Structure 1
């Protein structure tokens, strides 16, 4: 039996054929047999199939002799938190995040929430699950329900100084995913601490039928509801999450969606305002704004290959306080180097309070200095051939070349990064420029590259 649901970083597959309860049981059983943890945490998102897949996974773990703390309906980061905060040796979240309705999946971690990906154990789990040759254990594991939420909220509060938060009005859009219950708990905590933040909730109730569409704010068509609510209520900021809320998307008080690239600069600023000299890890797709902010606030910028396992590894190696990707994944040293969709907006609230500036002006300064294209995806026959074509086209302009991830070409006044997707047959292009050195609009370069790629 070949299992096609195993990907580079996690497990994702079409329900029924690629992922079902029988397969989930085998994955749980294989995880238990390979790592032999005494106890792990397991949670699931709001999808209609997630609870049944979770129970099958737990049965596999129990049959492998593993005790399980069932966290119930959770976002991925609540499982990560449980995996490093509690006396357990790993965790599994059942989630398909922003994938279509007929998909589900799993994210797996070891002790201290260390990620399990293709090169750190996922292949071995797949091979054992495919073979189905499991050893019998003398004593099966047990399962108990555990509410991690109060401890998780206490941890989140350590990223802000509640007494210093200014009066703010926030639109929060859980997209009917798993984020709502955490927002409710934060709201209660804020009331208890007299933090003057008002929440305006839209698409708030957890609903696995996703009546307002799959929560994925990266899709332009999914942004209107948050934008409109910000404008209607005169809010200071809008927040929207994907299904398992490990990614958080910000809108300013004018309802404008903020590119993930500039959020990296904003969060770097949040940490460096507290403690200069800290190290900030970033991906190579767009970099100039991050360099600028980190230098301005006396930090150290460190480049890493894109992808969570690379960023986490680099952060551990260099003891970085924060790592950010323009894809809206943000990683934190005090969160066991894991990504979180709750910590970023709390830090943004902190920066708004500290600077007493509206979000638009904080971000517009960055956009004005370093305009960017945002990530543009192209379907091409052969990604490597196309990358070489771009390389050859510009070689006589003698750009500075960096091959940390795909190819980055730096022309001084503008730069580009082009790379093959890790997960799809796509070529991903990012372009940025320095406004003070370059009067040309960014679209000029986008058009030139589009023509070249599609020729």
Structure 2
């Protein structure tokens, strides 16, 4: 088997591709070999999601690492955050997670970090690995040597220590793992928390019988909504396949945009560490800036994407960072994103404030109504962005190119950015306490974008 054409599975922040034509054990083997040669790690932790192809890819990477002189620790089926945790342990020089997260079932991928869970992305080694993989003619041969380490009990202790000074009262929580691996951590935590978990789709199943786990898709939310209502739950949680993103539903079953959770968590964490820095992405910003500033914190904007956010987190020694896409980053977790800490903090806030989740976010949703991210296919992303900047830039208070195009007016703003992996533009619009204005401008922008569709 030979490697596919260059750049077929190497993306901006990680690796993703269709199995076996874009990603296969030969590419995985060559990647493991290149990783070992490029970074010279003594020991690397590997883990994977439950897709049919994940174990064979893990074993191929392990073999390449072995042949490059590295020891391998296999932590088994897990979430991406558990690989980040493993890479922060003494004696571990890096980690690789085999997952395609919310991509279709015939896809797979990898997320790579160095020791300390420092991400390997396009400008920090991924391009060099890509070049080495596609220049290589090495073929896998032999059986990998791996040490098995059941890391989850130590990870559970980290999670419980994180909330040790907080109060969590008996609550009923719907948890929807989307047949990914999030249910494994729920099982580990359950005996140690006063929570009643209502499980749906929590059995790991590579066939994804209930659909690909991606709660950003409205059709994928209904099962969680229905369960919250049926069981009278205090809130609901849903995850993507490798549970590095955490999506929340209030006690009425209403889906809460990740944007408002960012502000909620930032405010709560700043109560413990006044004056700290909070990182946010450029897509939706006003609520986060308002919440952080009012709480005495320092908001700092970063380009969208986990590699960029983590870089900013480290540079600023930020306490917390959040993206509207439901990625949440914590200094206490090596500046990495984590899909378990957010819902644990929400459970604590509901318990301590004596308010349901709806009341914790309603005012902010009214003050800064937002469109949510809307995707449209276009023929030429750069041309469409240039057209929008020309049409909207003249009367704007502020224009920003941190990520795509952000245009700000007195009462509303928008961000539109190109996808890193698809011929799409992603639009977000928000306003100051004016739902009608937000909706009106959203529709106007969509019409202009659609006029350039492929």
Same fold (TM over 0.5): yes
Aligned equivalents of 2:133, 2:69: Cα separation in 1: 16
Which residue of structure 2 lines up, in the alignment, with residue 444 of structure 1? 440
Which residue of structure 2 lines up, in the alignment, with residue 144 of structure 1? 147
**3-state SS, counterpart of residue 408 of structure 1:** strand
**3-state SS, counterpart of residue 256 of structure 2:** coil
TM value normalised by structure 1 = 0.94
After superposition, the C-alpha distances for 1:376-426 in whole angstroms (9 at most, x for unaligned) are 112111112111211221234243222222221111111111111222111
2:44 is aligned with 1:48: no
User: Which residue, out of 37, 40, 61, partners 1:36?
Assistant: 40
Which residue of structure 2 lines up, in the alignment, with residue 265 of structure 1? 263
2:181 is aligned with 1:181: no
Aligned equivalents of 2:436, 2:255: Cα separation in 1: 23
Which residue of structure 1 lines up, in the alignment, with residue 84 of structure 2? 80
Residues 327-346 of structure 1 mapped to structure 2, 5 A cutoff: 327-346=325-344
* Per-residue deviation, 1:133: 5.7
Whether the 8 Å CA contact 2:11–2:420 is kept in 1: the answer is: no
Which residue of structure 2 lines up, in the alignment, with residue 193 of structure 1? none
Residues 80-99 of structure 1 mapped to structure 2, 5 A cutoff: 80-99=84-103
Aligned equivalents of 2:23, 2:396: Cα separation in 1: 49
Change beyond 3 A, Cα 1:163–1:279: closer
**3-state SS, counterpart of residue 81 of structure 1:** helix
* Per-residue deviation, 1:440: 3.6
| Aligned-pair Cα RMSD in Å | 1.8
* Per-residue deviation, 1:351: 1.5
Which residue of structure 2 lines up, in the alignment, with residue 453 of structure 1? 449
Aligned equivalents of 2:130, 2:245: Cα separation in 1: 27
Whether the 8 Å CA contact 2:393–2:399 is kept in 1: the answer is: no
**3-state SS, counterpart of residue 432 of structure 1:** strand
Aligned equivalents of 1:326, 1:163: Cα separation in 2: 25
Aligned equivalents of 1:320, 1:50: Cα separation in 2: 34
* Per-residue deviation, 1:100: 0.4
Moved more, 103-112 or 125-134: 125-134
Which residue of structure 2 lines up, in the alignment, with residue 123 of structure 1? 127
Whether the 8 Å CA contact 1:33–1:134 is kept in 2: the answer is: no
TM value normalised by structure 2 = 0.95
Residues 316-335 of structure 1 mapped to structure 2, 5 A cutoff: 316-335=314-333
Whether the 8 Å CA contact 2:29–2:63 is kept in 1: the answer is: yes
2:164 is aligned with 1:156: no
**3-state SS, counterpart of residue 419 of structure 1:** strand
Aligned equivalents of 2:31, 2:73: Cα separation in 1: 17
Which residue of structure 2 lines up, in the alignment, with residue 222 of structure 1? 220
Structure 2: runs of 5+ lacking an equivalent: none
After superposition, the C-alpha distances for 1:70-104 in whole angstroms (9 at most, x for unaligned) are 10111111011000124110011111111101111
**3-state SS, counterpart of residue 254 of structure 2:** coil
Which residue of structure 2 lines up, in the alignment, with residue 58 of structure 1? 62
Aligned equivalents of 1:326, 1:333: Cα separation in 2: 18
Structure 1: runs of 5+ lacking an equivalent: 191-195
Residues 96-107 of structure 1 mapped to structure 2, 5 A cutoff: 96-107=100-111
After superposition, the C-alpha distances for 1:223-258 in whole angstroms (9 at most, x for unaligned) are 011000000010011000111111110000000011
Moved more, 262-271 or 238-247: 262-271
* Per-residue deviation, 1:450: 1.6
Whether the 8 Å CA contact 1:66–1:141 is kept in 2: the answer is: no
* Per-residue deviation, 1:163: 6.1
